[in-house]
Chains A and B, each alone.
Chain A
Amino acid sequence: MEKKEFNITVYTENQIGLLNRIAIIFTRRKINIDSLNTSPSEIHGIHRFNIVIDETEDVVRKLCRQIEKQVEVLKVYYHTNEDVIWQEMALYKVPADIIAEKASVERLLRENGARAVVIRKDYIVFETTGHREETDNLIKVLQPFGLIEFVRSARVAIIKDSEGFNSKLREFEKEQPGEEVIENEYLNQGQKVFTM
Chain B
Amino acid sequence: MNETAFAQQETATAAEEKPTVELTGSAALLEALIAEGVDTIFGYPGGAIMPVYDALFDYKDKLNHILVRHEQGGIHAGQGYARTSGKVGVVFATSGPGATNLVTGLADAQIDSTPLVCITGQVFAHLLGTDAFQETDVINITTPITKWNYQVTDANEIPEAIAKAFYIAKSGRPGPVLIDITKNAQVQKFEYKGYTPCNHIRSYRPKPIVRQQYIQEAAELINNAKQPFILWGQGVILGSAENEFKAFVEKSGIPAAWTIMGAGAIPSDHPQNVGMLGMHGNYGPNVLTNECDVLIAIGMRFDDRVTGRLDKYAKQAKVIHLDIDPAEIDKNVQTTVPVWGDCKETLPLLTAAVEQKQHTEWLARFNDYTRQEEEAVINNELHPQEGEMTMGEVIDTLNQLTNGDAVIVTDVGQHQMVACRYAKLNKTRSNVTSGGLGTMGFALPAAIGAKFGAQDRTVVAVIGDGGVQMTIQELGTIMQSGIDVKIMILNNQFLGMVRQWQELFNSRRYSFVDIQSPDFVKVAEGYGIPGRSISDRSDLKEALEQMLNNPGSFLLEVMVTKENNVFPMVPQGCSVSEIRLK
Binding site for B on A (CB under 8 A): 12-13, 16-17, 20-21, 24, 28, 61-62, 65-66, 68-69, 71-74, 172, 175, 177-179, 181-184, 187-188
B140 within 8 A of A: yes
**Range of interface residues on chain B?**
20 to 34
> When the two chains form their complex, are residues A74 and B203 in contact, meaning their CB atoms are under 8 A apart?
yes
A55 to chain B, nearest CB (A): 15
A80 to chain B, nearest CB (A): 19
> When the two chains form their complex, are residues A24 and B143 in contact, meaning their CB atoms are under 8 A apart?
yes
Contacts of B338 in A (CB 8 A): 187-188
> When the two chains form their complex, are residues B330 and A62 in contact, meaning their CB atoms are under 8 A apart?
yes
Contacts of A181 in B (CB 8 A): 205
Task: Tell whether A187 pairs with B202 under 8 Å between CB atoms, given A21-B143, A182-B209.
Answer: no
Q: How far is the CA of A179 from the CA of B143 in the complex (A)?
A: 28
Out of B144, B151, B200, B326, name the residue touching A177 (CB < 8 Å).
B200
B139 within 8 A of A: yes
Count A/B pairs, Cβ under 8 Å: 64
> When the two chains form their complex, are residues B200 and A17 in contact, meaning their CB atoms are under 8 A apart?
no
Out of B151, B204, B325, B326, name the residue touching A71 (CB < 8 Å).
B204
> When the two chains form their complex, are residues A62 and B327 in contact, meaning their CB atoms are under 8 A apart?
yes
Q: How far is the CA of A72 from the CA of B149 in the complex (A)?
A: 11
Binary CB contact string for chain B from 187 to 229 against chain A (1 if under 8 A, 0 otherwise) = 0000000000000111111001100000000000000000000
Contacts of B144 in A (CB 8 A): 24, 28
Q: Can you list 29 pairs linking A and B with CB atoms under 8 Å apart?
A: A12-B203, A13-B203, A17-B139, A17-B140, A17-B143, A17-B149, A21-B143, A61-B330, A62-B330, A62-B331, A65-B327, A65-B331, A68-B327, A71-B148, A71-B168, A71-B201, A71-B204, A74-B202, A74-B203, A175-B200, A178-B202, A178-B205, A182-B209, A183-B208, A183-B209, A184-B208, A184-B340, A187-B329, A187-B338
Binary CB contact string for chain B from 326 to 355 against chain A (1 if under 8 A, 0 otherwise) = 110111000000101000000000000000
B147 within 8 A of A: yes
Cβ-closest chain A residue relative to B145: A24
Cβ-closest chain A residue relative to B204: A71
> When the two chains form their complex, are residues B202 and A175 in contact, meaning their CB atoms are under 8 A apart?
yes
Cβ-closest chain A residue relative to B147: A71
Contacts of A172 in B (CB 8 A): 202-203
Which B residues, 135 to 181, have Cβ-Cβ distances below 8 Å to chain A? Answer: 139-140, 143-144, 147-149, 151, 168
Contacts of B331 in A (CB 8 A): 62, 65
Q: How far is the CA of A183 from the CA of B325 in the complex (A)?
A: 11
Cβ-closest chain A residue relative to B337: A188
Contacts of A16 in B (CB 8 A): 151
Q: Which interface residue of A20, A71, A179 has the most chain B CB atoms within 10 A?
A: A71
Binary CB contact string for chain B from 300 to 341 against chain A (1 if under 8 A, 0 otherwise) = 000000000000000000000000011101110000001010
Out of A20, A65, A66, A187, name the residue touching B140 (CB < 8 Å).
A20
Q: How far is the CA of A72 from the CA of B385 in the complex (A)?
A: 60
Name B's interface SS. Answer: mixed
- The 3 A-B residue pairs with the shortest CB-CB distance in the complex, in nearest-first order: A65-B327, A74-B203, A71-B148
Q: How far is the CA of A28 from the CA of B327 in the complex (A)?
A: 16
Q: How far is the CA of A184 from the CA of B327 in the complex (A)?
A: 10
Contacts of A179 in B (CB 8 A): 209
Q: How far is the CA of A28 from the CA of B338 in the complex (A)?
A: 26
> When the two chains form their complex, are residues A73 and B140 in contact, meaning their CB atoms are under 8 A apart?
no
Q: How far is the CA of A24 from the CA of B148 in the complex (A)?
A: 13
Task: Tell whether A187 pairs with B326 under 8 Å between CB atoms, given A17-B140, A24-B144.
Answer: yes
Contacts of A66 in B (CB 8 A): 327
Cβ-closest chain B residue relative to A24: B144
Q: How far is the CA of A23 from the CA of B238 in the complex (A)?
A: 29
Contacts of B208 in A (CB 8 A): 183-184
B139 to chain A, nearest CB (A): 6
A180 to chain B, nearest CB (A): 10
A121 to chain B, nearest CB (A): 41
Binary CB contact string for chain B from 104 to 144 against chain A (1 if under 8 A, 0 otherwise) = 00000000000000000000000000000000000110011
Q: How far is the CA of A178 from the CA of B330 in the complex (A)?
A: 24
Task: Tell whether A20 pairs with B143 under 8 Å between CB atoms, given A179-B209, A188-B338.
Answer: yes
B112 to chain A, nearest CB (A): 16
B10 to chain A, nearest CB (A): 26
Contacts of B205 in A (CB 8 A): 178, 181, 183
Q: How far is the CA of A128 from the CA of B532 in the complex (A)?
A: 80
Binary CB contact string for chain B from 242 to 253 against chain A (1 if under 8 A, 0 otherwise) = 000000000000
B145 to chain A, nearest CB (A): 10
Cβ-closest chain A residue relative to B338: A188
Out of B143, B148, B202, B326, name the residue touching A65 (CB < 8 Å).
B326
A30 to chain B, nearest CB (A): 14
> When the two chains form their complex, are residues B200 and A69 in contact, meaning their CB atoms are under 8 A apart?
no
Q: How far is the CA of A16 from the CA of B140 in the complex (A)?
A: 11
Q: How far is the CA of A73 from the CA of B147 in the complex (A)?
A: 12
Q: How far is the CA of A126 from the CA of B388 in the complex (A)?
A: 83
Cβ-closest chain B residue relative to A27: B144
Cβ-closest chain A residue relative to B335: A188
> When the two chains form their complex, are residues B330 and A183 in contact, meaning their CB atoms are under 8 A apart?
no
Task: Tell whether A69 pairs with B203 under 8 Å between CB atoms, given A179-B209, A182-B209.
Answer: no
Cβ-closest chain B residue relative to A28: B144
B306 to chain A, nearest CB (A): 18
Q: How far is the CA of A21 from the CA of B141 in the complex (A)?
A: 11
Cβ-closest chain A residue relative to B167: A71
Q: Kindly list 15 other residue pairs between chains A and B, CB separation below 8 angstroms, not including A73-B203, A172-B203, A179-B209.
A: A12-B203, A13-B203, A17-B139, A62-B327, A62-B330, A65-B327, A69-B325, A69-B326, A72-B148, A72-B203, A177-B200, A182-B209, A184-B326, A187-B329, A187-B338
